Structure 1
Amino acid sequence: MSDPAAGAGGPAGARSLKFSTNGIPSANRMELWSMHNAKALIALDIRTMDESPLTATEINLHFPSIRLAQVRGSAQVIERNEKFIRKHPMDVIGVFFALKGEAFFYYPGGFETLRPGQAVIYDADRPFMRGFHRGVEEMVLTIPRDEYLALSGGKPLARPVVLDFHKAGPENRYVLALAQLVRDALVSRPWSGAGAAPSTAPDPAVVEASAVELLRLLVAPKGAGIPEGYVSAAKCFIDDHLGDPNLCPSQIAEAVGISERHLTRVFAETGEPPGTYVLARRLERAAALLSDPAEGATSIAVIAARCGFASQAYFARAFKARFGMTPLNARREARAEGLIPPN
């Protein structure tokens, strides 16, 4: 059932909504599922593909501008035809990130088959039909059309744009970063009182700004990106390559599609040079691994190497400088607190 949960997340704030068909009589599920989507995401004409009862869950995050959602459900078809759009205009652009299962996407004049690891950007007020014959699992981002047009330089979205986010590469680096940002925001949800600890919870204002600027990099005329978008894409690449001891600013800049000098400039606006950020992320990951029950039998040397440290001695010094204790003491402390089992 719908379970609104509002919470403050800094000056911009974010509001969390949840829906589940669990506990709802089968005869009422479709109506309530449609009502939730109309209120929390996009109004849809929804039908099941057989007589099996609908099962569905959805987590929504509402920011001042954008909306995010994590959607799971059984086989279904969703549609917005011209008559339905006239009755339920949305004035939003949607970005749909497919996580599992194939889906068909019909629109006037065309057809797409969407696979896991692909995203489609489409105007919700242009007719479309989407079908999930094996069920749906996806993430969604919506943004008001006028804000999208400001990002795209005024270019309307007449046809769907299909992008890949399942692998790194120059052609999809920005959509990959956007998908990871949306995923992390939905998993953490600190503004609804669940998930990440306060020290690691993302700031809602930063999440929203980063998402908007990554979307700008995807849809704007070439060269129209601004620092926030490039920094978000760079941080995504860094997190994916922390285990590479040779990770360096030139490699990061090339992956993001800007010069090393430009990378240094955009990071300077965050107050932290690229190299400093890389070291901080490596140490944070190492600290997480040292307190992870699943890594209790992994040696400290192996953890150091997995986090990109070529020298265990340097790792120990840097770790102590950051956390005030050695890696060994951090593991002992985790064992004392019962976070990981004793030897």
Structure 2
Amino acid sequence: MGNKHVDAGQGSAAGPEESAEPGSSLPGSRQARQLRFSTNGIAAANRLDLWEHHNARALIPLDIRTMDESPLEAREVSLGYGSLRFAGVTGSAQIVERNERFIRRNPTDAIAVFFTLQGEALFYHRDGHESVKPGQAIIADADLPFMRGFSRGLKEMVLTIPRDAYMELSGGQPLLKPRVLDFNHGAASNQQLRALARLVSDTLAGQGASGRPACPEGSALELLGHLIAGGHSGSGVGHLATARSYIEDNLCDPELGAPRIAAGIGISERHLSRIFAEAGEPPGSYIRERRLELARDLLSDPARHATPVGAIADQVGFASQGYFARAFKARFGSSPLALRRQALQGPAR
């Protein structure tokens, strides 16, 4: 295994950067506490110790080792919203561990959700082990012993919540064994987990779900409660986020409508209509708005300048080019062709 050693006087300025996240100041939202880390510019001998220090401060304390003598490569951005932590992590081959002795010294009282994006991860726990592939997530209590191995490196997202919050969401049922669920495997996907993965991704990208402002802390807890309940209970906020995630996945399908959305996320059409009404926008209007926004982006893309407007209308799910043109002008104040010409010409000088 790689050695961990810090040379005096080296790497002392290479710690994580902290800043307030630029973003929404909507009621109920919070400014994020942001921490960034990169091994770029850090002496190879210091990287493991500084990587451990960053994770202990920004996410979860870990005992980290490299697989060989190759210098560690790692990057992470983490956002703290209240008691929740959102993180995006990439790194070279490594092993991370929390054994019983380490946990006694470094308790977290947290539940962690690890979303694997690239690189298969082996997760060893006291009852066995799990192989977590890209498109899968593992949910585990960070204060129960585990070891994770990334033989080919990793790219993942992480969400942590206090155990007390999890216990409240679960009705007092502790998480005694890790759970592995799909969030990106088509029909096998858990829709609530898929919506949660989208929320984490959008939060790290600095935008609300589907490009709209959101309160990441509250929405994440709602979706986790929805996930723990198996999608059969929970508030309208959790159902709404799941429905919007389902719409994003199927936005360009012209057959997408309330019946299919309701069936896809396991609720009645009546309940679907009610939760969208509470949000101030019927499902059909929301779908049309998202399609028009996508069409605007495609029309503004120089790489698609030769694609006919009718083809773009079809690509984003409009069955009628005439209806698309009217809806587009009503929404953006100009025709699709006029917007394309303006976008390709650039700002007036």
User: Given the two structures, how large is their TM-score scaled by the length of structure 1?
Assistant: 0.92
Whether 2:51 is the aligned partner of 1:33: answer yes
- Which residue of 1 is the match for residue 89 of structure 2? 71
Q: Is the 8 A contact 1:234 1:256 kept in 2?
A: yes
Distance 2:21 2:189 in 1: 37
Query: Is 1:331–2:340 an aligned residue pair?
Result: yes
Rounded to whole Å, the distance in 1 between the matches of 2:104 and 2:81 is: 26
Contact 2:232 2:266 in 1 (8 A): no
Structure 2 equivalent of residue 120 of structure 1: 138
Partner of 2:279: 270
Distance 1:269 1:110, change over 3 A: same
Alpha carbons of structure 1 residues 16 and 335: separation in structure 2 relative to 1, 3 Å: same
- Equivalent in 14, 17, 25 of residue 35 of structure 2: 17
Runs of 4+ in 1 over 6 A off after TM superposition: none
Identify if the C-alpha distance between structure 1 residues 202 and 310 changes in structure 2 by more than 3 Å, giving closer, same or farther: closer
Cα shift readout 1:256-284 (whole Å, capped 9, x = no counterpart): 11000000111111011111100100001
CA distance in structure 1 between the aligned counterparts of 2:67 and 2:347, rounded to whole angstroms: 48
- The Cα shift of 1:338 comes to 6.7
Corresponding residue of 1:3: 17
Aligned to 2:4: none
Q: Does 1:216 align with 2:225?
A: yes
User: Paired residue for 2:181, among 158, 163, 168?
Assistant: 163
Alignment of 1:139 with 2:157, yes or no, is yes
Residue aligned with 1:47, SS: strand
SS in 2 for 1:223: coil
Counterparts in 2 of 1:170 and 1:110: CA distance versus 1, 3 Å: closer
What is the match of residue 193 of structure 1? none
The CA distance in 1 between the partners of 2:67 and 2:335, in whole Å, is 57
What's the Cα RMSD here? 1.8
1:53-64 to structure 2, matched below 5 A, reads 53-64=71-82
- Tell me if structure 2 keeps the 8 A contact 1:63–1:204: no
Deviation of the 1:222 alpha carbon: 6.1
Normalising by structure 2, we get a TM-score of: 0.91
Deviation at 1:173, TM superposition (A): 1.0
Equivalent of 2:61, from 43, 68, 74?
Answer: 43
Give the number of the structure with larger relative contact order, counting CA–CA contacts within 8 Å between residues 6 or more apart.
Answer: 1
Inter-partner Cα distance in structure 2 for 1:89 and 1:116: 28
Helix, strand or coil for the counterpart of 1:169? helix
Q: Higher mean Cα deviation, 302-311 or 212-221?
A: 212-221
* SS of 1:4 mapped into structure 2: strand
User: How many pairs align?
Assistant: 330
The answer to whether the 8 Å contact 1:170/1:257 transfers is: no
**Deviation of the 1:224 alpha carbon:** 2.5
Q: Is the 8 A contact 1:152 1:221 kept in 2?
A: no
In the alignment, structure 1 residue 300 sits paired with structure 2 residue 309: yes
2:110 is aligned with 1:92: yes
Aligned-residue offset at 1:163: 0.2
Q: Distance in 2 between matches of 1:288 and 1:35?
A: 41
The answer on 1:203 being equivalent to 2:217 is no
Which consecutive residues of structure 1, in runs of 5 or more, have no partner in the other structure?
A: 191-195
Three-state SS of the structure 2 residue aligned to 1:183 is helix
Which of 249, 254, 257 lines up with 1:248 in the alignment? Answer: 257
Identity %: 55
Q: Secondary structure at the match of 2:157?
A: strand
Q: Relative to structure 2, which stretch is displaced further, 210-219 or 274-283?
A: 210-219
User: Could you tell me which amino acid in structure 2 is paired with residue 81 of structure 1?
Assistant: N
CA distance in 1, matches of 2:312, 2:233: 40
